[in-house]
Amino acid sequence: MKVVNIEEKLSKINTHWDPKIVGELNNQMVKLAKLKGEFVMHHHDNEDELFLVVKGNLKIALENDVLEINEGEFVIIPKGVKHQPIAEEEVSILLFEPSTTLNTGDKITSQTKKTLDKI
């Protein structure tokens, strides 16, 4: 067991849309990432995702709505729901999702990260 300092881990991330693993439990991953700009619209067939905004403001476009997640708030995107994260300014997030979750879900793009680094 060890205590994880979120700010210290975030200070090691210098890229956008490149999640890093900071913990694992029960076949779930705790990931940190910095986001800026628009991500691909996608969905996950078998996994729910939790997005917790640590710093900044994140928008998640859905097919017929846009969610706004502010610092200290989180949203759970159920499996099968198409979503597109949008960060107008840099946003730091914590993700909690199954270890099988591919960041771009049903899409393979230049933003797809098949192997994640642990920090």
Tell me whether residue 105 is in a domain. no
> Rounded to the nearest 5 degrees, what angle is found at the Cα of 6, between the Cα atoms of 73 and 22?
105
pLDDT at residue 35 is higher than 90: yes
Residue 118 lies in a domain: no
Q: Is residue 42 in some structural domain?
A: yes
Q: Give the mean pLDDT of 16-44.
A: 95
CB 95 within 8 A of CB 19: yes
pLDDT at 58 over 90: yes
The verdict on residue 1 lying in a domain is no
Residue linked to tokens 């705790």: 30
43, part of any domain: yes
Is 57 within a domain? yes
Residue appearing with tokens 């910095």: 34
CATH of the domain at 19: 2.60.120.10
- How does DSSP classify residue 17? S
Average pLDDT over residues 80-99: 96
Tally of domains within the chain: 1
Q: How far apart are the C-alpha atoms of 8 and 32, rounded to whole Å?
A: 11
Structural domain contains residue 112: no
Q: Is residue 20 part of a domain?
A: yes
Using CA atoms, how far apart are residues 87 and 89, in angstroms rounded to an integer? Answer: 5
Domain interval for residue 69: 6-98
| pLDDT at position 116 | 84
